[in-house]
Structure 1
């Protein structure tokens, strides 16, 4: 079971959103990925479209044109098949990898980030995992510390004489996937997906005009038979028990964004365009200045409560 949720803005994923806000659209690589995903699905299930239903692939995109030569359309069928066939569980690469290779985040090199939360047994013991592809503008905030302002990289900074020049290519969209083993129906998953924006906002994200922001959530709790009878039995979390999942989603989203920045490396892209990775030493200096370090070791529920 899954549910997509677009936030205000532009982007591919639900075409109506872009048409409504910005007019017609043509993006590179997305169409080829759709075709490749369809071909791969037909390879895995030869009866699709003949003895069973059709395939409806889901493909998202961000505009990483500052670094990426999007006109080259470099993602090929072989790349897509290799990614799908080599997918496996285990540690995940983060930073400037895969779809995050060309993305930028709040003036620095962005990329792929992941994080998760496990609820206490008393609250269901469910796991909530979040994967982000960060490619958006904003004013970086870490643990409440105004990192972007301190380091002179933030939206509209060119209008303030005391700041560094504003980074090029602001905006650009964000894609977020939320996975959980909590038994949720489509309506509940949509509620979870909507909380992603709250986690993004905690990092300094504000959904700029050109930003297409799409969040999708799915549950692995129940498998629905491909061919079923007249009725299907299912079990879902009660609405009164959803709040812990919401908080887990917000926290994991925030952490995933920060991981995408901290794991990223400086990338030189098309025409020599360069996006620097955030300087971790400078970041730590700002966090120390605002007493934003190690609070997780001092405060509940992880710490011992001693400040």
Structure 2
């Protein structure tokens, strides 16, 4: 069987939040406004699509030279633990990232973890490795994809890892975001970055989200309730266990694992800005890693405010980008989820009338 080709970069015509004049926060973005703006961080996707029933894939966030002999400082935060994040306990205990971070579909997470271990054991310097902690997160894409088919295989994982590169990052219905749904619209992969000054050091913070969570979309504090054909037009909503979000944060700021855990917390907090419901069945996780192993001296905690703000703004923008880049998808059992179009979003934001979530009553009524 020929190995699949990695998914191509996003087309230049793709519209993102900033293309529409929607600017989150005051910070300056990196040149690509992507997690790959952090030096030494690459991203690869493999999309697995067999219409109508399969819309899935795998996404790899690959820091250069990461491995068990050269782990990177890292932290993890669980906002709600209804999910699978392979490698969590060792990551929490040791604060050390030994592998790339991979994202995929729930029932494919374990196969992906095994493929990642195989790929890592073949890396230079790993010939004698006997213990390895793969980090693999997941979202349930079972509303649009036949999740029981477990369509993500070793060749897909290797293609994403081997094809990971810097530069622009494909967003929307690609890789691990091919079948995901968020806030009543088709979602997927989104990314953003911020440049900042941290205690006199010029640093970059980048985020990547796999958006698949429930709630009612808010853009810059304004509700954008789904009204297009799809979830709000009689189709059953995704089951509670389909709600999730995986967030990966990378930074070249000199931080230790404890501080990176603080950064990961802010990444999950940022979902509230977008309207996340943090439901019982939602797996809301963030992994944050630094690209400076054994940094000479971590930045003082009191100086971390600009980084926290950068991550909050970056996650909010990345979620919007994941929605705007996605396309209306008809999938498993004929279910259709509409995309959030630029025209629709701009019209809602320009409306003088306050928008309400479905079923919400105007204030002052009973």
- TM-score range with shorter-chain normalisation? 0.7 to 0.9
Deviation at 1:125, TM superposition (A): 2.0
Closer/same/farther in 2, CA of residues 291 and 113 from structure 1, 3 Å limit: farther
* Larger Cα-atom Rg: 1
Instruction: Measure the CA separation in 1 of the matches of 2:194 and 2:315.
Output: 10
Aligned counterparts, 1:103-182, within 5 A: 103-120=180-197, 123-148=200-225, 151-152=226-227, 165=234, 168-169=237-238, 171=240, 172-182=243-253
Secondary structure class of the residue paired with 2:215: coil
Normalising by the residue count of structure 1, what TM-score does the alignment of the two structures yield? 0.79
3-state DSSP class of the match of 2:281? coil
| Superposed displacement of residue 253, structure 1 | 0.4
Give the Cα–Cα distance (whole angstroms) in 2 for the partners of residues 270 and 2 of structure 1.
37
**What's the offset of the Cα at 1:281?**
1.5
Q: Which moved more, 1:136-145 or 1:272-281?
A: 272-281
How many Å apart are 1:122 and its aligned residue?
Answer: 6.5
Q: 1:268 to 1:191 in 2, by over 3 A?
A: same
Deviations 1:206-225 (A, max 9, x none): 211110111000011x234x
Deviation at 1:89, TM superposition (A): 0.4
Candidates 300, 303, 309, aligned match of 1:247:
309
**Greater CA drift, 280-289 or 7-16:** 7-16
- In the TM superposition, residue 269 of structure 1 has moved relative to its aligned partner by 1.2
Match of 1:285 among 340, 347, 353: 347
Q: How does 1:79-98 map to 2 (within 5 A)?
A: 79-98=156-175
Residue equivalent to 2:177: 100
Q: Which has the higher strand share?
A: 2
Aligned residue pairs: how many?
Answer: 263
Work out whether residues 77 and 285 of structure 2, in 8 Å CA contact, stay in contact via their aligned partners in 1. Answer: yes
* 1:11 counterpart residue number: 83
Shift of 1:47: 4.2
Deviation at 1:234, TM superposition (A): 2.8
Distance in 2 separating the partners of 1:287 and 1:47: 53
Q: TM-score, normalised by structure 2?
A: 0.67
Moved more, 39-48 or 244-253: 39-48
Deviation digits for residues 44-85 of structure 1, max 9, x if unmatched? 14744x3x4521111111111011111111111111111101
Cα distance in 2 between the residues matched to 1:27 and 1:206: 20
**Alignment partner, residue 111 of structure 2:** 32
Residue 170 of structure 1, CA deviation: 5.1
Structure 2: runs of 5+ lacking an equivalent: 1-72, 90-104, 355-366
Q: Which runs of 5+ in 1 are unaligned?
A: 18-25, 225-232, 293-307
Larger helix proportion of the pair: 1
| Structure-2 change in CA distance of 1:140 and 1:47 (3 Å) | closer
What's the secondary structure of 1:174's corresponding residue?
Answer: strand
CA RMSD of aligned residues (A): 2.5
Do residues 73 (structure 1) and 150 (structure 2) align? yes
SS at match of 1:60: strand
- What SS class does the counterpart of residue 315 from structure 2 fall into? helix
